[in-house]
Amino acid sequence: MLFISSSAVLAENSNAELDDDWGSEWDNSFDDSPVLPEIVYPEWFKKSFLELPDDIVEALNNGKKGIIVYFGQKHCAYCKMLIDRDFGQKDIETYTRKNFDVIAINIWGSNEVITPDGQTITEREYAIREHANFTPTLIYYDTQGKKLLMLRGYYSPYKFRAAMEYVVEGYYREEPFRDYMMRANPPPRFKVSDMNHEDFFMSPPYALNRSQFKAQEPLLVFFEQPDCHACDVLHSEPLEFPATRKLLEKFDVVQLDMNSDTPVIIPDGQHLTARQWAEQLKLFYAPTLIAFDENGREIIRIDSVAHVYRLNSVLEFIVTHTYQHIPNFMDWRFYTTFGGKMLPPVNHREDSMEFNDKPAGSSTVQ
């Protein structure tokens, strides 16, 4: 069911164009390793002094809904996809420019930023504070400087349009983003209508309680759904990669239909259905992968497109137990990328967890 005003825009396209739009989210030919040369931002991105309260006032005076802060990297394949495939769509560019000023932040940058709440910190510290681990990350602020929505990772043009209108049309006042986005799922591209089985998935019953006794292995939960193109592609390439398979041997791995009534004893001991657990976790994207440690504490989640390079980085972060001494994934990526240097510590604000209440170290970087 199309539920947003962009349905009128979508209706103008041919079925072939729609199929291509939906299919662009997951593409077997997509290589998510770092790209060369450096990514060039669209010329219409705002040339900001990174004094975001002033940028918000200027957006208000120009009749816009607010600003979008774009957290990216110069060589991030997912950032390039967002710029080329999403902002590269003329209707998305027009709609974005009409309603927002877009301001780019380099997650490794040392330039000072005055954040919407008035704090002066570096770009890098701002990215850490907001848990912008998976680039691109977009934060939508209204004209009062309030955070309305945060998107971590890449989303196809169809879902990106839906997210944009969730903010612009004020749907955030009426319903959670999860409920809104669950109605935005496109029809499948593949003929497979059932869930994709893997031999490393545990069989039911799903007794995942780790609150009383420590497990021997970390837990990785695949929240999926039938008729899911992105789920199908996840199983057709990234999970077939030999290095990925080897890493997965070090996990207890469970697959759940996120909309089903399958009974589950979740890691903290609650007895829920898969649907109830997904609602409690505020999941809106399929597939979402969530990792829990041996004691049942969430480590990290991937709730956007992730191909081989990103997926393996996350799995390595977990199986090496790196998160125990470098709890933030972005810190670790900086450490491995920049020759052993560590990021300075950042004091995390409580309100930065508003949109995905997760422990330090969880995320949703290249």
Domain ranges in the chain are: 6-182, 206-324
Q: What is the pTM for the complete model shown? A: 0.75
pLDDT of residue 238: 85
**Each residue of 32-87: pLDDT tens digit?**
888 888 999 999 999 999 999 999 999 999 999 999 999 999 989 999 999 999 99
Rg (CA), the chain: 20
pLDDT of residue 358: 38
Task: Name which CATH class applies to 206-324.
Answer: alpha beta
pLDDT of residue 163: 93
Q: How many CB atoms lie within 10 A of CB 208?
A: 22
pLDDT of residue 156: 85
Question: Residue 104 carries which side chain, given as an amino acid letter?
Answer: A
Signed CA dihedral, 193, 198, 203, 206: sign only: negative
pLDDT of residue 250: 96
Distance between first and last Cα of the chain:
33
Task: Name which CATH class applies to 6-182.
Answer: alpha beta
- Alpha-carbon gap, residue 4 to 6, rounded angstroms: 5
Tokens of residue 272, six digits: 């829920």
pLDDT of residue 194: 75
Cα dist. 274→15, 66, 292 in Å? 33, 36, 16
Residues 361, 128 contacting (CB under 8 angstroms): no
Backbone angles phi, psi at 158, to 5 degrees: -60, -50
Give the chain's residues under pLDDT 70. Answer: 1-29, 184-193, 337-366
pLDDT of residue 66: 97
- Alpha-carbon gap, residue 271 to 276, rounded angstroms: 10
Same topology for domains 6-182 and 206-324, yes or no?
yes
Give me the count of residues in the chain. Answer: 366
